[in-house]
Amino acid sequence: MKKNDNMLKYFVISTNYIFTLASPVVLMIVLYYVFSKYVFHKENDFILVIMIILGIVSGYVSLYKEIKGK
């Protein structure tokens, strides 16, 4: 039973890491679509790529802080 408890613990930790990485990317994509509809009034692929890159960097920084405990 101890092996299953460890496996469940590591599964929960890895799932948390996945959400930590994916959440900023999803947030930036949603912000892009809101901005493109109400502010820019047109779609711009360059801004979408920049926002996705910002989301990825932000996700990795958040994950690093979470792992290091800062």
List of residues 6+ apart from 27 with CB closer than 8 A: 55
pLDDT at 70: 59
List of residues 6+ apart from 40 with CB closer than 8 A: 47
Task: Give the dihedral sign, CA 70/63/45/32.
Answer: negative
Domain spans, the chain = 2-68
pLDDT at 6: 83
Task: Give the dihedral sign, CA 32/66/60/8.
Answer: negative
User: CB of 25 within 8 A of CB of 55?
Assistant: yes
Say how far apart CA 39 and CA 35 lie, in whole Å. Answer: 5
Q: What is the pLDDT of residues 13-70, one digit of tens each?
A: 899 999 999 999 999 999 999 999 898 888 888 999 999 999 999 999 999 998 898 5
